[in-house]
A and B are shown apart, each in its own frame.
Chain A
């Protein structure tokens, strides 16, 4: 069985974001990079399936500049067998359709039985790429999964809906699944597996070789949201802050009465 998991490297969302000089994305200086959180669930599910099947080969794919290889090594240490790095220094300027086209172009003649993606990325958050890859490849896609089962060519899953209920869905392979937070418990790579991962194949393919399409959309402006104001910001010594908060609770609420 051939498996593919697509991951993205994103900045830590606790970072302070500044706009870059071209005014179309965030400035990358001083950012700490990590695996997109949704993709950690995708990698874990793919590794679990590989363990279940036994005879399976798992490729991890990531698009971006050289630095994304660090994140790919984490996926390799979690249990992926090989890495396919689609080298693109300007991947942040690509729209979701272009990213999906690159992945589909890579995957189209490789016979993957199942493709795993995260539901969305934490930085761009379009929630488009996974479904678009499946549409371009002409295979079914199940999105927003919080439960996953594979048995004899059929994927059974549960989609998370607003309000906490779930929709039970299934399809046959080849297929793509997009993973929601909470699908499983992503493992931490162990030190021996981190060492082993360094010896695994990690091939770089220039994005241009995969014939990326022309952009369908462009960013005309990016900026922090306008502060609506009104909210009081308190800073300083914790003991003084505690006194200020208690004073505010007395003045503005009835909860201490």
Chain B
């Protein structure tokens, strides 16, 4: 079994997901080689062949060009498995490769079980073990699922690639995230509202509990998208990453993007009517209740 790992650069820097790719390959066993559009000053800690295309020539976001470069490497190395992070870069590039290679793509791998790849379904309420029937398989890895306990060490043997084609998409640079009006990372207690609050009129229930616990209130993505709460209150992959002493998740089902933003909290209480909600996986306590009934009582008892 030979694996090709595709690392990601953002804003001129190697992303930490490279270590997850290396750890995944180690768990899977067999040979691994790596591919990167980047530069020589910031390379992954990888003992093996690294095919490097220069980022100033190949472009940081240029999926058509990156695909062509990868196809050259694949032609040469003949890997059975091509692995990318399941990120905005990986989920965009992987299907382009899969179609070109006539390869099955297995998205968002969370586990290797008896040599087979396992992926989530239905908001992580189910797990599916998948088998590809094609000669080559493309896979993407869920962020955080293969984080190594210790960062790998190693020095790659760099093989430079000639710059690729320009592709059919123009990239015009980045727009920085808006400065957060509320810095949740400093709060010791965060009470967060999820879709389960039902309507914006119920947000004060969350705010009141946050006040009673001398903390801040946060929100999950659907609540922010619905404009029930300010974007600066969003906890999760595309919002803030927090690690308070206490995190109270109210009516939050626990999508992976939300969990990634709060799972390092010291103590997690989840309040949800759905006993099977994935938030239960990271919660120290799951109170199965309607937050509209429980929260006002809890707030009153805390205040008295």
Contact = CB atoms under 8 A, between A and B. Distances in A.
Interface of A: 11, 13-14, 16-17, 19, 26, 95-97, 100, 120, 122-128, 131-132, 135-136, 139-140, 142-144, 158-172, 181-182, 185, 215-225, 227-228, 230-235, 238-239, 241-246, 248-249, 252-256
Interface in B237-252: 237-239, 245-246
Contacts of A160: 88, 238
A113 to B, nearest CB: 15
B285 A168 contact: no
Contact of B107 (A14, A126, A164, A227): A126
Contact of A217 (B104, B121, B177, B290): B104
A165 B302 CA distance: 38
A215 B105 CA distance: 12
B280 A233 contact: yes
Given A224-B127, A242-B297, A181 B122 contact: no
Given A159-B88, A181-B221, A221-B128, A125 B108 contact: yes
Contacts, number: 240
B91 A127 contact: yes
A24 to B, nearest CB: 8
B283 A255 contact: no
A255 B189 contact: yes
B284 A232 contact: yes
B38 to A, nearest CB: 17
Q: DSSP class of B's interface residues: helix, strand, loop or mixed?
A: mixed
Given A123-B121, A161-B10, A217-B104, A14 B92 contact: no
B199 interface: no
B186 to A, nearest CB: 15
B55 interface: no
11 contacts: A13-B123, A95-B104, A126-B105, A131-B95, A139-B168, A164-B177, A170-B169, A222-B126, A222-B127, A222-B128, A233-B285
Contact of A242 (B103, B131, B274, B301): B301
Contact of B213 (A166, A222, A227, A255): A255
A216 B132 contact: yes
B125 to A, nearest CB: 5
A127 B287 CA distance: 33
Interface of B: 10, 61, 64, 86-88, 91-92, 94-96, 98-100, 102-108, 116, 119-134, 143, 168-178, 188-189, 213-215, 221-222, 224-225, 227, 237-239, 245-246, 253, 266-267, 269, 274-276, 280-281, 283-290, 293-294, 297-298, 301-302
Given A13-B253, A128-B105, A225-B281, 7 more contacts: A125-B108, A159-B88, A159-B92, A160-B238, A161-B238, A167-B173, A242-B294
Contacts of B95: 96, 127-128, 131-132, 135
B129 A221 contact: yes
A163 B281 contact: no
Contacts of A17: 122, 125-126
Nearest to B298: A242
B132 A168 contact: no
Given A17-B126, A170-B170, A144 B298 contact: no
A231 B177 contact: no
Closest 3 CB pairs of A and B: A164-B177, A216-B104, A131-B95
A56 B61 CA distance: 31
A167 B61 CA distance: 8
B92 A219 contact: no
Contacts of A131: 92, 95-96, 99
